[in-house]
């Protein structure tokens, strides 16, 4: 191979290496590192090179094109000195200069993108399957942010609803969570779900009996959960701090011997004017909603959900309902709607309220890899209603500033027979089409493309086909039952071309 051919080969490889870094404006240190990289390639291919090469790099960038790609342009010029390979004529230079003056490389990169991972955190995703999924999502998230720091990522871990962290702490200083769901109830089910989420309901039509039982279980919450948190406090101290003694008590009177509440939580006082109004107006409907929830595993079912209103309001937080999830054992008299957001966790013993740590929670769009790292500590529980995760992800995505948006649904691939809402949203309501149309139409973001992918983590060809036909498109619905298969699919979604030569 001639020296000139070696020079061409060295610069072909070196220029691709430089382009892969994706830099346009380089610091002095980055320029030195880049020149050192080129020098390394030149000396590898031209070991006889004399002295230092002369290297010049000019860079420019092009805005994204119709394919949502932006381009970085690199123009390389280089000169090297090599010894003459034949006997020099006396008095002439014993070196010859070789050069390349017009080597061009264009590196196409995907534009900054908002990615939302809607992840099945039900108990069907267990063991190595969940651990592998989390490892893959972590790796892909790092690759996304390292490729383009303007990209953003959100995690939506769902079971039946999506757990969210609250800023407030509970009565003993532990973390507080809620079950977040995008839900517009039909008139028959239109109640204050946040109020009723921690109230005990009974069948008796007697008003005083209803109030007595509600008050009694409120006291039990403070006495058996709040008081018993480490360090345990005496019952008298608990009463002084959170309760008041009643001069009259009993089922016939409508109150327990003590009535308890938490300051700054208006719904905890069941005898306040606002609470009394809610109880009187909604008790029977609340009991009916609770009963149907017990039968259908969710508050969001075909009888209770106004799907058309939900699809209209899904691009903002207007239709978000957050159900408080007290850090208690998983019992209906503490958590009225106890099928909701079991993936958020619950108390495994009566003494851990002060150290309450949710098992999973939503992370909104961010490029903070340390914040995204918390996914690795999350665990799963409960059943799965994928529509609750998908709908809850929409207002999260709508807050994103990037013009390209990608939804990635990771699901165990099974639809419970009880989940008629998901089936109706897919088959009758064109939910995915309306999500895409709505995001693109929003003047706030001026989105150019909205892509959706469905990946089943189990062998479920029938449901993959359903999601392909009724939501994401056949070519974007697939199965991945191993870490390698999943990472290959996700890399295909976020793939970024290193570069190619341009004449």
pLDDT score recorded for residue 501: 41
List strand residue ranges (DSSP E) for 367-503, in order.
404-411, 449-456, 477-479, 500-501
pLDDT score recorded for residue 97: 87
Cα separations (Å) of 411 from 344, 345, 467?
Answer: 17, 20, 11
pLDDT score recorded for residue 11: 87
Calpha distance 194→189 (Å, rounded): 13
For 55, what's the count of Cα atoms within 13 Å in the CB-facing half-sphere? 23
pLDDT score recorded for residue 124: 81
Calpha distance 370→155 (Å, rounded): 13
If 0-12 CB within 10 Å is exposed, 13-18 middle and 19+ buried, where does residue 398 land? Answer: buried
Q: Is 408 helix (H, G, I), strand (E, B) or coil?
A: strand
Calpha distance 11→8 (Å, rounded): 5
pLDDT in tens, 129-142: 889 999 999 999 99
pLDDT in tens, 65-98: 555 566 778 888 999 998 876 555 555 556 788 8
* Low-confidence residues in the chain, pLDDT < 50: 496-503
From 304, 338, 221, select the one nearest 270 (Cα to Cα): 221
Locate tokens 């080969």: which residue?
9
- Neighbouring residues of 93: CB distance < 8 A, sequence distance ≥ 6: none
pLDDT score recorded for residue 85: 60
List strand residue ranges (DSSP E) for 360-495, in order.
363-366, 404-411, 449-456, 477-479
What the block records as the tokens of 10 is 């060295």
pLDDT score recorded for residue 63: 64
Locate tokens 């207002």: which residue?
395
With beta carbons less than 8 A apart as the criterion, state whether 353 and 172 touch.
yes
What the block records as the tokens of 500 is 């190619």
């Amino acid at each position: 191979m001639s020296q000139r051919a070696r020079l061409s080969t060295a610069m072909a490889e070196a220029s691709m290496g430089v382009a892969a870094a994706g830099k346009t404006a380089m610091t002095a240190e980055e320029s030195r590192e880049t020149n050192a990289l080129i020098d390394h390639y030149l000396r590898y291919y031209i070991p006889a090179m004399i002295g230092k090469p002369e290297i010049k790099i000019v860079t420019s960038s092009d805005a994204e094109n119709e394919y949502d790609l932006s381009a970085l342009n690199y123009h390389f010029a280089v000169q090297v000195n090599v010894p003459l390979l034949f006997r020099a004529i006396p008095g002439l230079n014993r070196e010859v200069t070789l050069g390349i003056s017009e080597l061009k490389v264009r590196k196409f990169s995907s534009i900054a993108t908002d990615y939302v991972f809607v992840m099945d955190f039900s108990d069907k995703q267990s063991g190595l399957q969940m651990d592998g999924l989390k490892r893959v999502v972590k790796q892909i998230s790092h690759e996304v942010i390292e490729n383009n720091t303007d990209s953003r990522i959100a995690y939506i871990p769902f079971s039946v609803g999506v757990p969210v962290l609250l800023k407030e702490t509970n009565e003993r200083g532990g973390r507080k969570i809620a079950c977040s769901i995008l839900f517009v109830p039909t008139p028959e089910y239109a109640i204050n779900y946040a109020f009723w989420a921690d109230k005990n309901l009974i069948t008796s039509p007697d008003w005083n009996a209803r109030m007595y039982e509600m008050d009694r279980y409120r006291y039990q919450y403070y006495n058996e959960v709040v008081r018993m948190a480490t360090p345990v406090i005496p019952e008298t101290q608990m009463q002084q701090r959170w309760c008041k003694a009643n001069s009259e008590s009993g089922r016939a009177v409508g109150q327990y011997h003590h009535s308890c509440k938490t300051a700054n939580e208006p719904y905890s006082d069941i005898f306040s004017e606002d609470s009394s109004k809610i109880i009187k107006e909604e008790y029977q409907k609340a009991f009916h909603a609770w009963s149907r929830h017990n039968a259908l595993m969710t508050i969001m079912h075909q009888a209770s959900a106004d799907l058309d209103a939900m699809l209209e309001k899904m691009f903002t937080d207007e239709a978000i309902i957050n159900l408080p999830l007290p850090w208690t054992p998983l019992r209906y008299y503490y958590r009225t709607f106890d099928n909701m957001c079991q993936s958020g966790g619950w108390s495994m013993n009566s003494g851990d309220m002060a150290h309450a740590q949710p098992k999973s929670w939503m992370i909104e769009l961010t490029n903070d890899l340390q914040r995204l790292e918390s996914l690795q500590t999350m665990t799963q529980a409960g059943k799965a209603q994928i529509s609750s995760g998908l709908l809850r992800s929409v207002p999260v995505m709508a807050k994103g500033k990037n013009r390209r948006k990608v939804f990635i649904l990771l699901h165990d691939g099974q639809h419970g027979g009880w989940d008629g809402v998901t089936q109706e949203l897919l088959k009758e309501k064109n939910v995915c089409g309306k999500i895409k149309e709505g995001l693109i139409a929003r003047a706030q973001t001026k989105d150019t493309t909205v892509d959706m992918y469905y990946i089943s983590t189990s062998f479920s060809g029938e449901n993959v086909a359903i999601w392909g036909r009724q939501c994401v498109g056949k070519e974007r619905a697939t199965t991945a039952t191993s870490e390698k298969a999943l990472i290959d699919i996700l890399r295909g979604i976020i793939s970024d071309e290193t570069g190619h030569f341009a004449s």
